[in-house]
Structure 1
Amino acid sequence: MTGVGPVLVVTMIDDPTADLVMSELHDRDVPVVQLDSGDFPATLSFAATLTPHGIEGSLSTPTRTADLSRVRSLYYRRPSGFAFTHLDEQDTRFAVTQARYGLGGVYKPLSTPLYRVDGVSCTVEVAEVTADQVDDRVAGTAHLFQHRVDKVADVRVTVIGREVFSVRIDSDLLDWRTDYDRLTYSVVEPPPGITDALHRYLDHFGLVFGAFDFAVDRAGAWWFLECNPSGQWAWMEPETGLPMVAAMADLLERKTA
C-alpha cells in the first residue's frame, strides 16, 4: 500500500527502538499510528472488508484511527500478547486464536482450535445472524461475517496441481457440513472464467492445492465464499468417481506441476 497515509507501528508501549523510529518519522512529517495488538478488544477495535481492490476498513485506538486502505507501510515490532483473563482456559484459547487470525461467520470462526462441549470435540457451524444480534456480545474477539447468498446449491472445487475437480452439493442446509447424509453430489463444469481465476488465485499465493467453496444462486451464478489451502476432498471421490487421489499422487510424485 502506498500513498500519503500513515505508517502503522505495532508494538508494546515500552519499546525504545520503535520510539526512535517514530521520532524520526515525525521529524519528516510522516504520520504514524502506533498500536499494541495485545490491547484488542479492550481499547483497540477494528473492522475490515475484503474487496476486489484490497482491504477497506479501520483500526481505532483511544487516540488514533488508521484507514487501512491508506496505510503506506507496516512496522511490526514487539506487541504484547492477547489477554482474556475473564474467560476459562478453553474459551480463552478460542478467543485468542480468533483475535490472532482476525488481526495478522453467516458467522464462521477465522480459525478452528480444539473446542469441547461435554467432552465432545465441536466446530462452529455456519448460522444466519441478523443485524440486531451483532451487538456487544461479539465484542470479545474477532469474527468473520459473510453476506448470505440466496442459494440453491453449493459447489466444492478442488484444484490439485493443474487438475480441477468441480462437484455440486445439493441439500436444503445453510451449512452442508452439518449433515452429510442429506447431501447429493454431481460433477459439474465451472462457468466460463472460473477455472482461470482459480489458477490465478493459487499462483498469486504460491500454492498448488486449494479447496474452493461457492454458493450457487437461483440465477445459476456462482458466489465465491473461501479457499481452504488444506481442505478436505477425499470423501467426494467415492461419491463421484473423480480420480482425485491419483491426481494428488501425481502432484506429489511431481508428474504434474
Structure 2
Amino acid sequence: MTVLILTSEEDVTADMVVVHLNASGVPVVRLDPADLTGGVALSGEYVHGAFRGHLWASGRLVGMEGLRSVWVRRPGVPASRVPEPSDWLSEESSQALYGMLRGTDARWMNHPDASHRARHKPWQLRLAQRCGLPVPATLITTFPQAAREFAARFPDLVVKPVSGAHPQEPPRAVPTSRVAPDTDFTAVAFGPTLLQRRVAKRADVRLTAVGERLLAARKVTPPDADPDEVDVRFASAATPWTPVEVPPRVAEGVRDYLRQAELAYGAFDFAEDADGTWWFLECNQSGQFGFVEVETGQPIARTIAEWLAGQEPEAGTACGGGTSGALYR
C-alpha cells in the first residue's frame, strides 16, 4: 500500500516525513498537481461497476486502489505549469485528480472538503468556542460604528486578516498588529476587518495535532518584550521553543475540534496569559511544523509518517501522543 503526498517540490517539511516513511519501508509517491499535464499524468476507468485509476509521476505508475493514505500538504494549483495555463484547464485537472482520489478507500490528511472549510477563520472561532477552548473577544465587521463601540468595550485590540496570507505570488504573510488608541475605524467600511482583544501573553504555544496525538511547544515572552510585537512570527525575541505539557481541558477541546472539523492534522496557535490560560487564536490545517521539531526535538515528522502508514502511535497527550482511532476518510 502506497502513501501519496501532494505538495510542491521544494517542500522541506514534507521531506522530513518522507525520510521516516522510507526508513519504514513504506512506498511513497510524491507529486505536485501543478505538474499536470506535464510531469504528472492520470487515468481513471469506470467499467462494469468498478473503478480503476492510475497516477504517473517521476517515472512511477501507481494504482489508486493501492493507496493507503493521501497527505494534502501544500499542493500547487493543478495544471498551472503547462505552457499555456488557464482557469479552465486548472478546474478540469482539479476535478479529474481530486474527484478520482475521493473515490478511493485511502484516508486523508486532510480531506480537501474538510480542509477548505477549516480555512475560514470565523468558522474556526465559533468551533473553538463550542469545543470549550477560550477565545479572545473578537469582532469581524464592515460597520465603523460597530468597531468603535467594540474598541470602547475592549480598549486594547489587535487587527489581523480574516483570510490569512495575502494572495500575491509568492504569498505574503500579513502580521497581526496592535491597534492604536486613537484609531477612528472609518476604513473598516472598505473591507471586512477582524479586531480581537489583545492577550497580554507570557508565552506563545504551538500545538501540533496528528490524529489523537498532541505535541505542544511553548515560546516564552520576555518581560521586556515590546508590547507592540504581538505576532510571534515577526517578534524580535530570540527565546527558544521548548516542549510543554498540554492541559487536560485543552487536550479535550482540541480533540473535539479535530473530530468536528474532520481533520487528521492541525497546527493550533494559542496565547498563554499570566494566569496560565491558553487562548485559542487559530488552527492552520496545513501549518508548518519543521521549525518546532528542529528546536524541540519533538518527533512530529515521525508521528505524521506513522499516521500515514496506518501505524498506531504510542499513547500519551503532551510532549508525546495518543492513539488515533479515526480514519478521516
TM-score class normalised by the smaller sequence? 0.5 to 0.7
Query: Match of 2:306, SS?
Result: helix
> How many residue pairs are counted as aligned between the two chains?
163
Query: Match of 2:197, SS?
Result: coil
- State whether residues 214 and 225 of structure 1, in contact with CA within 8 Å, keep that contact through their aligned partners in structure 2: yes
* Counterpart residue identity of residue 133, structure 1: T
Which whole-Å CA distance do the structure 2 matches of 1:137 and 1:49 have between them?
25
Which whole-Å CA distance do the structure 2 matches of 1:184 and 1:114 have between them?
30
- State whether residues 124 and 282 of structure 2, in contact with CA within 8 Å, keep that contact through their aligned partners in structure 1: no
**Is residue 2:214 matched to residue 1:167?**
no
Q: Which residue of 2 aligns with 1:9?
A: none
Which whole-Å CA distance do the structure 2 matches of 1:155 and 1:190 have between them?
10
Map Cα deviations across residues 177-230 of structure 1 (whole Å, 9 max, x no partner): 014772411111122211111011000011111111111111212111111111
* Counterpart residue identity of residue 197, structure 2: H
Which whole-Å CA distance do the structure 2 matches of 1:58 and 1:150 have between them?
21
Q: Which residue of 1 aligns with 2:271?
A: 215
Aligned counterpart for 1:235 among listed residues 276, 282, 291: 291
Which whole-Å CA distance do the structure 2 matches of 1:235 and 1:59 have between them?
34
Q: Which residue of 2 aligns with 1:136?
A: 186
Q: Which residue of 2 aligns with 1:149?
A: 199
Q: 1:221 to 1:50 in 2, by over 3 A?
A: closer
Q: CA deviation at 1:57?
A: 9.0
Q: CA deviation at 1:250?
A: 0.9
Which whole-Å CA distance do the structure 2 matches of 1:58 and 1:166 have between them?
29
Q: CA deviation at 1:115?
A: 3.6
CA RMSD after TM alignment: 3.3
- State whether residues 49 and 57 of structure 1, in contact with CA within 8 Å, keep that contact through their aligned partners in structure 2: no
- State whether residues 159 and 193 of structure 2, in contact with CA within 8 Å, keep that contact through their aligned partners in structure 1: no
Q: 1:57 to 1:129 in 2, by over 3 A?
A: closer
- The normalised TM-score by structure 1 is 0.55
**Structure 1: where are the runs of 5+ without partners?**
1-46, 61-104
Which whole-Å CA distance do the structure 2 matches of 1:179 and 1:53 have between them?
31
- State whether residues 176 and 183 of structure 1, in contact with CA within 8 Å, keep that contact through their aligned partners in structure 2: no
Which whole-Å CA distance do the structure 2 matches of 1:253 and 1:183 have between them?
35
- The normalised TM-score by structure 2 is 0.44
Q: Which residue of 2 aligns with 1:23?
A: none
Which whole-Å CA distance do the structure 2 matches of 1:216 and 1:252 have between them?
31
Which whole-Å CA distance do the structure 1 matches of 2:124 and 2:172 have between them?
28
Q: CA deviation at 1:133?
A: 2.1
**Structure 2: where are the runs of 5+ without partners?**
1-121, 132-137, 143-157, 313-323, 325-329
* Counterpart residue identity of residue 113, structure 1: H
Query: Match of 1:186, SS?
Result: strand
* Counterpart residue identity of residue 160, structure 1: V
Q: Which residue of 1 aligns with 2:38?
A: none
Q: 1:207 to 1:49 in 2, by over 3 A?
A: closer
Which whole-Å CA distance do the structure 2 matches of 1:57 and 1:127 have between them?
15
- State whether residues 205 and 219 of structure 2, in contact with CA within 8 Å, keep that contact through their aligned partners in structure 1: yes
Aligned counterpart for 1:197 among listed residues 245, 250, 253: 253
Q: 1:106 to 1:113 in 2, by over 3 A?
A: closer
**Is residue 2:162 matched to residue 1:112?**
no
Q: Which residue of 2 aligns with 1:246?
A: 302
Which whole-Å CA distance do the structure 1 matches of 2:183 and 2:160 have between them?
11
Q: Which residue of 1 aligns with 2:280?
A: 224
Q: 1:180 to 1:229 in 2, by over 3 A?
A: farther
Q: Percent same amino acid among aligned pairs?
A: 33
* Counterpart residue identity of residue 169, structure 1: K
Q: CA deviation at 1:170?
A: 2.1
Which whole-Å CA distance do the structure 1 matches of 2:268 and 2:199 have between them?
16
Q: CA deviation at 1:168?
A: 0.2
